[in-house]
């Protein structure tokens, strides 16, 4: 079985598991405890924080460990917006219609519960944002601009630096969802005030993640209790998880350039072969600004779910889009926002390749062609 759903989750890397084990067995203490076992855990937690901060280009004190990308996005969007409302009367949020559900639902929560107004800046047919359109959407009472670095369904990459610059000129905090970008794109030097990452996208366990948020940005916590994470995220810290996240992130960062270059070649060859073999295939997302390991298509006249079942029969596992919206019969909100009709959007299939892939994907393209032909009869 060939697993090509790595945007949904990845296996834990052996090096990560090895790094975590001492803090699950011997040095398992609570890092707030004042004894040898607790102090060893606290030291490891601090070192993990410094390691993550280096990759993000932030200070160690800027890193808040979370349970994953969803919590990090919730903390950033709600935490920054509510703090801005409490301290300055802000009541407006800017985002896009193609974001991960954890951003869209957080923004909707702000609207329903806290009375915020929301502006969704439209994207073009490839899923790209126009910085000028973002600038036009910003207001004096905008609390936060929040958007994804790279889209989880189609792989489109945004020009984060240019978009962040227009908000920075207005003194508006910028949050970037970097969950899909980690391991493929630089996470530092973006001009963002906050960035979210998730461990299970880069070879760490599920339930690990972090929000990097610069200390000058006020942040209202979601979780209240013992005041861990400098009062920004209460709860006993998962030391082993933090060590695993730091290890996975460093490994992915060290391999990033070589992996991205190799995967881009394999991806482009795969895309070209699918488009030749399957007349109904249409590539979704921006053709020039795309994650190295993502290829997403629609196959008009089919059902995406039927194609996926046929692919699995042929030994290929992929998906129709975001696993976080699993079970939904609705067409992808991302594709709809890009101007693709509901019927065609229902035919989407996404392939996301793993770090370390070296073999040609010609056989996978052949399986795609056979699968589409089988369900089109």
Which residues are part of the catalytic machinery? 324
In angstroms, how far is CA 234 from the centroid of its own chain?
23
β-partners of residue 157 are 150
* Distances in whole angstroms, Cα of residue 154 to Cα of each of 4, 36, 63, 295, 319: 14, 48, 28, 7, 12
* Distances in whole angstroms, Cα of residue 61 to Cα of each of 66, 111, 228, 327: 14, 30, 12, 39
Cβ-Cβ contacts under 8 Å for 157 (sequence gap 6 or more):
149, 150, 181, 185, 286, 289, 290, 291
Cβ-Cβ contacts under 8 Å for 191 (sequence gap 6 or more):
160, 161, 164, 165, 168, 174
* Distances in whole angstroms, Cα of residue 306 to Cα of each of 176, 301, 312, 365: 34, 11, 10, 16
Structure tokens at 123: 């994207």
Rounded to an integer, what distance in angstroms lies between the CA atom of residue 32 and that of residue 257? Answer: 38
Positive or negative CA dihedral for 229, 235, 239, 243? negative
């Amino acid at each position: 079985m060939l697993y090509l759903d790595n945007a949904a989750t990845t296996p834990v890397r052996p090096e990560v598991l090895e790094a975590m084990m001492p803090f699950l067995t011997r040095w398992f203490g609570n890092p707030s405890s004042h004894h040898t076992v607790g102090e060893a855990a606290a030291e490891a937690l601090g070192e993990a924080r410094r390691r993550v901060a280096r990759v993000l280009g932030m200070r160690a004190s800027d890193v808040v460990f979370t349970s994953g990308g969803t919590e990090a996005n919730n903390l950033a969007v709600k935490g920054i917006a509510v703090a801005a409302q409490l301290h300055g009367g802000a009541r407006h949020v800017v985002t896009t219609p193609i974001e991960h559900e954890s951003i869209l639902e957080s923004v909707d929560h702000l609207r329903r519960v806290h009375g915020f107004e929301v502006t969704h800046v439209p994207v073009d047919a490839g899923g790209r944002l126009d910085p000028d359109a973002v600038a036009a959407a910003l207001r004096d009472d905008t609390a936060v601009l929040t958007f994804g670095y790279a889209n989880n369904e189609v792989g489109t990459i945004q020009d984060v630096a240019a978009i962040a610059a227009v908000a920075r000129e207005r003194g508006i905090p910028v949050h970037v969802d970097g969950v899909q970008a980690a391991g493929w794109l630089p996470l530092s030097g973006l001009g963002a005030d906050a960035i979210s990452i998730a461990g299970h996208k880069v070879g760490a366990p599920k339930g690990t993640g972090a929000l990097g948020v610069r200390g000058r940005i006020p942040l209202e916590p979601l979780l209240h209790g013992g005041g861990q994470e400098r009062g920004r995220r209460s709860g006993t810290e998962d030391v082993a998880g933090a060590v695993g996240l730091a290890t996975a992130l460093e490994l992915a960062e060290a391999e990033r350039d070589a992996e991205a270059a190799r995967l881009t070649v394999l991806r482009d060859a795969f895309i070209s072969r699918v488009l030749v073999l399957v007349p109904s295939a249409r590539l979704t997302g921006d053709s020039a600004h795309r994650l190295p390991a993502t290829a997403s298509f629609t196959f008009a006249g089919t059902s995406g779910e039927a194609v996926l079942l046929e692919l699995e029969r042929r030994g290929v596992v992929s998906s129709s889009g975001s696993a976080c919206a699993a079970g939904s019969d609705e067409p992808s909100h991302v594709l709809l926002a890009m101007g693709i009709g509901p019927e065609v959007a229902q035919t989407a299939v996404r392939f996301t390749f793993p770090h370390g892939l070296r073999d040609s994907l010609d056989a996978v393209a052949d399986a795609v062609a056979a699968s589409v032909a089988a369900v089109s009869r």
